[in-house]
Structure 1
């Protein structure tokens, strides 16, 4: 008998496991060590991004920046100065009415022979509309109920038809200004834009239509541009006027224009259009007087939900500004980090490692000077923050809502704008810069597509591509599915041993126990996770009730939000049951929190993965806060059973991580360290959240629907009565 069994076993040997399966099993069995290594590696990979950044380069050869001699000359600067003087000499009482400057701009546009019209728009309702979160632009321009027919802005628009084009594409230049209270810097922006517009009306190389939008920003820079773009992309049907935003008057021209100006009579009262917008520039002159020996150019590129323009658009601006016009180019940075002691230590460590690597092999190029690392990290942190915020950093964001590449350029002179002797030189640089950018975009035969759309800036001339910065995020998130698999594997092993003991004690109850163990316990954990995430949905809708309250302040609104959120959670627990309502025998109760943790981790990993597709920066910051919180979550009673020192250490870690991961606390700490804790109040989070939902930022949904429920579930696990 024994011999026959041996022969049968030799005929049917057990198949060896595949190497990949063995690796997975090994990783799951050592999940704690794997999670620790991945988290440390993910943070180190993020700190290495300023070192791994590459110099920007122009991918599209057709752009050819700087290949032609500029035509913008002293004649155009004289035209710009003349318009500036006309604007600044207007009677302040007329300027306050917001009519004379749009009329003057339209009159000058008409002199160039361009197509000119005015675009009238009304102030928008700035409220929270949860049912239109994704279906409408953040500024669906609707007239307020208490608005009169006079509460409107007037955009002056001029179109130059390209002599070498077919009218299918266009380039847009936007110059925002406050028509009711204009200052010298805004007048210079208009004067410079007009001189460029006048120049382009005489050239013969223009292959794309050129549109100059003098945007009336008395109700906000973004509002005026978004209103014009909305009408620009709205289909027009003959005989229908629903598309017209003006519901007060038959004509979009003010009555004062018609009574006192011949310009309004000669300009057609229609909304003019050019071709599909290939690119847009928002140009502003700012009297900032930087402490540098050069004129300064600031570039703003972040749009809604972390969208960025094609990197080639920034590259041509940087190339022309630095190499052709000698400007000092800057991008936004966190100046607080420039004086950070710990960041300087990290930079010096990387600099030392780079020197050692270079001594070992001169071909190894690793490490940068500590000062460059600090500045790159400050710029990188700013880029991540503004992308994660999901709010446009300028009116260029309105173009990205229509998938148009656009950036905002702010140019500031090294001397005061009142210095008329140096003003022509400043205007000459700015005019040639804009002319060069327009020439490059004019050379394109198709839309921007060669360079990157997903990137982070570490300086005006360096960037990190998506293939590099996603490595750190992948390392941070990878412990979550491994930890969930390890918990599931440990539960199966434990349940098998319990099932065996149960079978020995009472063989008839084994089948019933296995059914409860494998179904109801996991279903209960899934129900708890579902209830908490349903609570997150209710919390996200609470602000639409709070904003209806009269005489509310940010602090009272925040307290009402917290109170209603707690009340809704208690109500849901009363209806659907709390996490502690499903209690089984004590010998199995201690495993319930592990099941809940496994389901929570699985949902958290899915949420972070989805958010990384929508907005990487939000997912990256969320992973830094959420992954340690989810991995460390252990019931405090369970921790107290271990050694004293280990129990105290784990308790402190769990409480600190849970405290720092609470969204209001995180936001208030960031503001406190950046602006000082004297200016921090409870209502600041309400103001911050209000800006997120007003701009339809996906970060708001992530915080309330993913991050907050996971934080609540971690608190449930910490308080679990195991």
Structure 2
């Protein structure tokens, strides 16, 4: 009796599913990419209403205590501060003393924080540190010095371990009316908090000297707050400058200045920070409040902080809350058409089942898309939208509030009413934060805003990126499998002396081809690292215009690629037709797609917005890549369309070309300038944006591989 054949082991369902997707990678890629784009366009429809996650915040639960008398006292400070503009000489020093005197009269602990702004220069060794954390320059002239004024209220119910920070930037040289009004709002709240008994957290009022930049002043104070220097060497030069400027005014210094200290004063760990700014312009319809939350590398404050500000501003003070929008999207016709389509689908869904809540009005979709686009862009850019970004570098939740009034500030009653409303808003926010027994943690840290009262959480917007990048590993596996099958067929066609020897050679050849492809991709990404360091050399050239710097950067990048090609290995595909093999090209493309997939996944952890925007460019570029020489041999419609798409992607995928296309689309073709790309990239590395590393180390090498097809 013949022996029965051993039964074949049944593969697991997950393995069978993977093999099925690999064998149908083309269809899978088309479906996933289309679904990823649709999911991204659906985000404004899927946005949810904001809500307070932390019950202890209780915004608006208590009646405001700020009175009209507090607003009147603040108005006196505003008038005195503005009046110093008409006086010549050391009006800035007089203004600083005036503000410090007002703080001191309230019983607060006051000190001057002298600093000098640190120059923004690209340095590769300081890239991963926070902005402005490099080595301090010496021998800086006194004209570049700044002086912050810090007032601290010790909480009667607190233990000194926590604090809330109020920041009011102002130009100490010549203050405008908006900056003076922001000082007035902060002073009215500061005055109230010195008298209340419910305060459990210390209050720090930072009057930031913004003559050299708002962010620089706040960042310098935070750096000294969190990094104490015991030898005092960092203040010697600043002290000399102040003493030299103040000698002639020593006799005029008031003798009743109390609680003004020479040393650096500190409070507890910062629970939250509010940057208060008043715009020196009139709104057309009503008083409004603009909220800015984006910090470096897409960091956002806890959503509860925005929620309580939005709730108190809209429902308690009657302000119109706003977040930044991309106005070019609002005027886009295709966005309006898409909004009308989603509105019609929503009406159809409600007709079929009234419980289906899908779709929003077309106008809301357009506005939500414009806000979402602005939120994505600001997070992807990685540059803070205000001085609040300096706090996020120390993991402190902070936002910038820009308040604008419909009425003119020339009228005393209008000023008092504005100060009262603004002060009560800040009072309500401080009262809510004061109720917290721990740091913000209940709500979201990863989100996208579509309006001040609507957001998209990380669990929703990650679906779009996951669908977009899902085809990459499947296509990479499919290409590698097809290349091995092609090599096996070619090996079988050739006569060999021994089957075992042929099989061993076949395995060795496959391994060598994979290593060779990986070496070429490694050379290209190493070249990307070199390109990322070249701006440091370009910046050393004095008096170099942005256009010349950009052209020099391109020239050095091309030269470095040629040198690496000659020394290490050719990162290109084989040049001659006789050397061009489909199997080798498929393995090289497989490795390139795998590296692009890893780069996008890593970038999504650092900055999702950058990964999403980069995926919209890199994924189609990688999937459509194909050697032109093979397509030009056969003149078919499929080959012709693939050649056309590849040429388009090569042009659009080049980072300077992408920047110029987007800039021309949003701002018009009149603003086209090659040097603008250098300025944009310079701002990225100056703020240590991870987007810069992604462009030069992931996107640029992938584009170079494709351009050599």
Q: How would you bin the TM-score normalised by the shorter chain?
A: over 0.9
Quote how far apart the aligned CAs of 1:194 are.
1.1
- Report whether the alignment pairs 1:27 with 2:17: no
**Cα contact 2:85–2:175 (8 A) shared by 1:** no
The 3 A distance-change label for structure 1 pair 298 and 583 is closer
> Is residue 2:323 matched to residue 1:327?
no
Shift of 1:509: 6.3
1:104-119 correspondence runs (5 A): 104-119=98-113
Match status 1:501 vs 2:493 = yes
Q: Which residue of 2 aligns with 1:488?
A: 480
Give SS of 1:98's match.
helix
How far apart, in 2, do the equivalents of 1:418 and 1:142 lie?
A: 45
Which SS does the other structure have where 1:176 is aligned? strand
What is the match of residue 159 of structure 2? 166
The CA deviation at 1:629 is 0.1
Q: 1:225: which partner in 2? A: 218
In the other structure, the counterpart of 2:232 is 241
Query: Does the 8 A contact of 1:122 with 1:246 survive in 2?
Result: no
2:618 is matched with which residue? 626
Q: Cα–Cα, structure 1 residues 407 and 246, in superposed 2: closer, same or farther, change >3 Å?
A: farther
Query: What number of residue pairs does the alignment pair up?
Result: 706
Aligned-pair distance for 1:460?
Answer: 0.6
Three-state SS of the structure 2 residue aligned to 1:472 is helix
The TM-score, its normalising length taken from structure 2, stands at 0.96
Residue 316 of structure 1 deviates from its aligned partner by 0.1
Alignment partner for residue 192 of structure 1, among 185, 188, 212? 185
Contact 1:196 1:431 in 2 (8 A): yes
Aligned with 1:456 (options 448, 462, 483): 448
CA contact (8 A) 1:96 1:181 kept: no
Deviates more, 1:26-35 or 1:569-578: 569-578
What pairs with 1:333-412 in structure 2 (closer than 5 Å)? 333-412=325-404
| 403, 423, 446: which one aligns with 2:415 | 423
Instruction: State the Cα distance separating 1:502 from its structure 2 match.
Output: 2.5
Deviations 1:238-271 (A, max 9, x none): xx224x3443536976635645313697422010
Secondary structure of the residue aligned to 2:209 is: coil
Task: Quote the residue 1:535 is aligned against.
Answer: 527
Match for residue 666 of structure 1 among 658, 667, 688: 658
In structure 2, C-alpha distance between the alignment counterparts of 1:585 and 1:351, rounded to whole Å:
54
Helix, strand or coil: the match of 1:277?
Answer: strand
Query: Is contact 2:114–2:239 with CA below 8 Å preserved after alignment?
Result: no
Counterpart in the other structure of 2:515: 523
Call closer, same or farther: CA 1:585–1:569 in 2, change over 3 Å: closer
Match of 1:84 among 75, 78, 86: 78
Which residue in the other structure is 1:178 paired with? 171
Find the aligned partners of 2:349 and 2:111 in 1 and give their Cα distance: 63
Q: Please say if 1:120 is aligned against 2:110.
A: no
- 1:131 corresponds, among 125, 130, 135, to 125
Deviation per CA, 1:66-112: give whole Å up to 9, x if none: 11110111101101110111011115454766312111110110000
Runs of 4+ that moved beyond 4 A: 93-97, 141-146, 250-254, 256-259, 263-266, 503-509, 580-588
> What TM-score results when the alignment is normalised by the length of structure 1?
0.95
1:551 partner SS: coil
Conservation of the 8 A alpha-carbon contact between 1:122 and 1:141? no
Q: CA deviation at 1:579?
A: 3.5
Q: Answer whether contact 2:298 2:381 (CA < 8 A) is retained.
A: yes
Distance 1:645 1:70 in 2: 72
Instruction: Provide the rounded CA distance (Å) in 2 between the counterparts of 1:361 and 1:498.
Output: 59
Which residue is 1:291 aligned to? 284
Summarize the Cα distance change of 1:246–1:656 in structure 2 as closer, same or farther, 3 Å threshold.
farther
Q: Secondary structure at the match of 1:86?
A: helix
Distance 2:493 2:577 in 1: 15
Which of 119, 133, 139 is residue 140 of structure 1 equivalent to? 133
1:516, CA displacement in angstroms? Answer: 4.2
* Alpha-carbon distance in structure 2 between the residues aligned to 1:587 and 1:217: 63
Give the match for residue 640 of structure 2. 648
Say if 1:131 and 1:358 are closer, same or farther in 2 by CA, change over 3 A.
same
Alpha-carbon separation, structure 1, partners of 2:282 and 2:600: 43
Deviations along 1:510-568, one digit per CA (max 9) or x if unpaired, are 25641442222111111111111111111101111111112210000000000000010
Give the superposition deviation at 1:582: 6.8
Alignment check: 8 A CA contact 1:251 1:269 kept = no
Corresponding residue SS for 2:403: strand
- Note closer, same or farther for the CA distance 1:629–1:182 as it changes in structure 2 (3 Å cut): same
Question: Given that residues 185 and 423 in structure 2 are in contact (C-alpha distance below 8 angstroms), is that contact kept between their aligned partners in structure 1?
Answer: yes
TM-aligned CA distance change 1:542 to 1:407, over 3 Å: same
Assess, with a 3 A threshold, how the Cα gap between structure 1 residues 33 and 351 changes in structure 2: closer, same or farther: same
Q: Compute the displacement of 1:191 (Å).
A: 1.5
Which residue is equivalent to 1:563? 555
Q: Distance in 1 between matches of 2:504 and 2:481?
A: 21
Which residue in 1 is equivalent to 2:591? 599
Supply the distance in 1 between the matched residues of 2:90 and 2:325 (Cα, whole angstroms).
Answer: 36
Aligned to 1:510: 502
Listed one character per residue, the Cα deviations across residues 460-503 of structure 1 (whole Å, up to 9, x for unaligned) are 10000000000000000000000001011111221222222234
Give the aligned partner of residue 709 of structure 1: 701
Q: Structure 1 residues 277 and 263 mapped into 2: Cα distance closer, same or farther (>3 Å)?
A: farther
Structure 2 unaligned regions, length at least 5: none
Distance 2:104 2:257 in 1: 12
Distance 1:439-1:111 versus aligned 2 partners, 3 A rule: same
Tell me the C-alpha RMSD between the 2 structures: 2.0
Q: Is the 8 A contact 2:324 2:374 kept in 1?
A: yes
| Contact 1:554-1:687 within 8 A present in 2 as well | yes
Rounded to whole Å, the distance in 2 between the matches of 1:388 and 1:510 is 52
CA gap of 1:209–1:94, structure 2 versus 1, over 3 A, is: farther
**Aligned-partner SS, 1:211:** strand
Q: Which residue of 1 aligns with 2:95?
A: 101
